[in-house]
Amino acid sequence: MTYIAKPKVHHPSLKKNALGLTRRDYEGAITTLCAGCGHDSITAAIVHAFWELDIAPHTVAKLSGIGCSSKTPAYFLKEAHGFNSVHGRMPAIATGAGAANHTLTMIGVSGDGDSLSIGLGQLCHAVRRNVNMLYVLENNGVYGLTKGQFSASADPGSMSKKGEANTMEAIDSVLLAMTLGATFVARSFSGDKAQLVPLIKAGLSHKGFAFIDVVSPCVTFNDHEGSTKSYAYTREHQVEVVQADFVPTRDEITSEQEAGTAKSVMMHDGSWVTFRKVAENYDPTDRDAAYGYIRERQKAGEVLTGLLYVSGDSRDMAQQNELGDAALTTLPFDTLCPGSAELNKLQARFR
């Protein structure tokens, strides 16, 4: 079972938003992911962001593909329609739903297998079309549900749980999105809720395709020595590795840091990731400069986080298709069907 209803007990002192809803009203079923999974931290951030934005849950469509990350839409916004589609193809569902009803607030949750392997093409084209949605890629470099195969975001040289080395280059989703002309590109870390919540809010508010790659450690299948995720240079810190040969119950990793600073965070497997938050005076509106800066920090072994790029003149899919204010789903039939008189007139053409 991955569907367990949460008990509906509200503490009277819980804070309410403008709609009179508490954060509990934005939650979903109880998670069935491994304890300590980074994805659950992201779910919590999503709940928080929607609550803070005063978005009525039923006006939201939450979409996903297949995989651990794709299960998470069940765990937030129980009053929103959810669509757990097929592997790697959530962008097509979102594109269709967005065309039919562009007044919906759409959030898509995907993983690195879902987005960067089987669904790479669909992700690229959703970016190109600038579908109005928040797209969260929960990135852990590994296939969790099929137990530990490399994903396309695994770094060269990193080791699988079975001891095999990854020999191929990683696909960096952020650089990819930048190249494809994404209008909103961010990266964050599942453990940094202070950074993640504002980014999710910004993404939801963006008109167009808002892409957030969230590094989200897999507690189970990156739980071994050799899983570098290319951060081997911080291996001197490995004394703090937590050794375990079973799926452990873990605490989620959390981290707070100041803008403009770099900070190393230990993953479940004991490896270290150095996150650098963009500085407060960072200019996210210059695509070329942003791209260069991300590459530069990568070369220095750092993962740059924050709102990396946002376009000032984003035209989303609905605008490109010259749709009106009302959703296509709400147009009365008599405004769609030309009727018999027009049909008679038209047929002169076929004689």
Evaluate whether 140 touches 150 at the Cβ level (below 8 Å).
no
Interface mask toward another protein for 61-90; x: CB under 8 A: x-x---------xx---xxxxxxxxx--x-
Q: How far is the CB of 143 from another protein (least distance, A)?
A: 17
Select from 36-44, 135-143, 272-280, 342-350 the region that touches another protein (CB under 8 A): 342-350
Nearer to another protein among residue 246 and residue 350 (C-beta):
350
Alpha carbon distance 94, 88 (integer Å): 12
**247 is a site residue for another protein (CB under 8 A):** no
Residues 292-321 that bind another protein (CB under 8 A): 317-318, 321
**2 is a site residue for another protein (CB under 8 A):** yes
Nearer to another protein among residue 97 and residue 136 (C-beta):
97
CA atoms within 13 A on the CB side of 285: 4
DSSP structure string for 203-267:
HHHSSSEEEEEEE---TTTT-STT--TT-GGGGGGGGG----SS----PPP-----TT-EEEEE-
**347 is a site residue for another protein (CB under 8 A):** yes
Of 30, 259, 262, 323, the one binding another protein by CB under 8 A: 323
Alpha carbon distance 273, 334 (integer Å): 59
User: H or E stretch including 193?
Assistant: helix 193-205
**54 is a site residue for another protein (CB under 8 A):** no
Q: How many residues interact with another protein (rule CB under 8 A)?
A: 65
Nearer to another protein among residue 182 and residue 273 (C-beta):
182
Torsion sign over Cα 101, 106, 111, 115: positive
Evaluate whether 47 touches 23 at the Cβ level (below 8 Å).
yes
**3 is a site residue for another protein (CB under 8 A):** yes
| One-letter amino acid of 107 | I
Q: How far is the CB of 324 from another protein (least distance, A)?
A: 3
Q: How far is the CB of 188 from another protein (least distance, A)?
A: 26
Widest CA span of the chain, in angstroms? Answer: 85
Evaluate whether 73 touches 109 at the Cβ level (below 8 Å).
yes
**158 is a site residue for another protein (CB under 8 A):** no
Residues 87-146 that bind another protein (CB under 8 A): 89, 91-101, 103-104, 121-122, 124-125, 129
**35 is a site residue for another protein (CB under 8 A):** no
H, E, C per residue of 38-66:
HHHHHHHHHHHHHHHCCCCHHHEEEEECC
Binding region for another protein (CB under 8 A):
1-3, 56-61, 63, 73-74, 78-86, 89, 91-101, 103-104, 121-122, 124-125, 129, 317-318, 321-325, 327-329, 331, 333, 335-340, 342-344, 346-347, 350-351
